[in-house]
Amino acid sequence: MRPTYALINLSHLRYNFLQIRKRAKNSKVMTVVKADAYGHGMLECVKAYEKLGKRAPDYYGVALLEEAIELRKAKLTKKPVLTFSPFRLEEIDDYVKYNIEATICSENMLSKAGRIKTGRPLPVHVNVDTGMGRLGIHHSRAVDFIKKFASKKQFCITGCYTHFATSDEADKSYANLQLKRFQQVVTELKNQGITGFITHAANSGAILDMPESYLDMVRPGISLYGYYPSLETSESISLKPVMSIISSISSVKKISKGESVSYGRKFITNRPTNIASLPVGYADGINRLLTNEMQVIIEDKIFNQVGQVTMDRILINIKNHNIREGTKVILIGKSQSNIITAWTWSKILNTIPYEITCNISKRVPRRYTE
């Protein structure tokens, strides 16, 4: 077994979900497991959620049809699965075969509906663009579109949703405008007798700070995996990071004063020191921009990474400490006295924890613990 691995704490995963479910009160919860559950392993995470029985998720959300098919083939759940990517006519057979709910984003689908031949209506959610500007039916045309679309016997509208652009920012004025636009669409639909579909809008940021956006269902993503979506949201729900990145020292060598290590000579010693080598690099998700910037935890002490991050290996300056080969190293995670999180790396890289966990590559084995 490779000495570098991602340790996924499933009890933390369920804890986060139950904290969100408690906060959402009477709203249903769609757990977002796209991108292999943000790098945590979709199938194992769904398996863990389903152990909650009656408290398990009401829906699962994925980005791609391929992800939905993988989940259905695993036969882990009979709960509805929604794909967020735009529905394409050539995919209809798979949607029907695997009982997957589709997202309608294009007004062109009205003219294409007649080309669909299925034994039963395909369940769909209509994405309403209230200001994200990415996908969806523009809110000013959404009522007319949905009214016409509801008459198409090839489809059954089971949901209607929107996506916030700024719910993770301190200033919620634009998110509130989006919510108002969406609520106006839903109200007008109901006034015209078009009902019976689930409404959902709240992502992780909105779940934390916009309870008025909960509607029929909420859609937590990064918060399920133990991270707040930005440094500007509240921390009104207790969360526990789910992923730790662990490695071990493969070799230790003595470096004299004035010598360099790794490519490009980006670190030169100013005194004799011990350099430990770890079998992990940018092919595993350790961004090269972390060079000479990241730290690790060894035996409950913090040590600096030095020299260029390479494809398969990084180097740690352990100074004059007598640390043996095979000693455990925490890249992300906590010891008794210290903690390094995905936010620690994010601040160096000017990014967000989503990118950190998603970028931990497939060649890093996932190990699961309760």
Domain residue extents for the chain:
10-225, 243-369
pLDDT of residue 132: 96
pLDDT of residue 109: 80
> Among 5, 2, 10, 4, which Cα is nearest to 225's?
10
Active site residue 59: no
Planar angle of CA 83, 220, 16, nearest 5 degrees: 130
pLDDT of residue 113: 67
Q: How far is the C-alpha of 137 from the C-alpha of 298, rounded, in Å?
A: 52
What distances in angstroms separate CA 23 from CA 57, 210, 218, 232, 280, one per listed residue? 14, 11, 10, 19, 38
Q: How far is the C-alpha of 70 from the C-alpha of 129, rounded, in Å?
A: 28
Q: How far is the C-alpha of 338 from the C-alpha of 33, rounded, in Å?
A: 29
What distances in angstroms separate CA 181 from CA 106, 130, 167, 201, 236, one per listed residue? 19, 6, 15, 12, 26
Amino acid occupying residue 231: L
pLDDT of residue 114: 64
Specify the CATH number of the domain 10-225: 3.20.20.10
Farthest-apart Cα atoms in the chain, separation: 80
Mean pLDDT of the chain: 96
Q: How far is the C-alpha of 217 from the C-alpha of 76, rounded, in Å?
A: 22
Q: How far is the C-alpha of 247 from the C-alpha of 315, rounded, in Å?
A: 12
Q: How far is the C-alpha of 266 from the C-alpha of 248, rounded, in Å?
A: 23
- By CB atoms closer than 10 A (0-12, 13-18, 19+), residue 290 is middle
Planar angle of CA 25, 27, 30, nearest 5 degrees: 120
Tens digit of pLDDT per residue, the chain (370 long)?
Answer: 889 999 999 999 999 999 999 999 999 999 999 999 999 999 999 999 999 999 999 999 999 999 999 999 999 999 999 999 999 988 999 999 999 999 999 888 877 766 677 778 899 999 999 999 999 999 999 999 999 989 888 899 999 999 999 999 999 999 999 999 999 999 999 999 999 999 999 999 999 999 999 999 999 999 999 999 999 999 999 999 999 999 999 999 999 999 999 999 999 999 999 999 999 999 999 999 999 999 999 999 999 999 999 999 999 999 999 999 999 999 999 999 999 999 999 999 999 999 999 999 999 999 999 9
Q: Exactly one of 263, 328, 347, 362 is catalytic; name it.
A: 263
What element of type H or E holds 243?
A: strand 243-248
Active site residue 263: yes
Q: How far is the C-alpha of 182 from the C-alpha of 356, rounded, in Å?
A: 32
CATH ID of 243-369, from 3.20.20.80, 3.40.50.170, 3.40.50.1970, 2.40.37.10: 2.40.37.10
Q: Exactly one of 5, 28, 34, 161 is catalytic; name it.
A: 34
The dihedral through the CA atoms of 112, 117, 120, 122 has a sign that is: negative
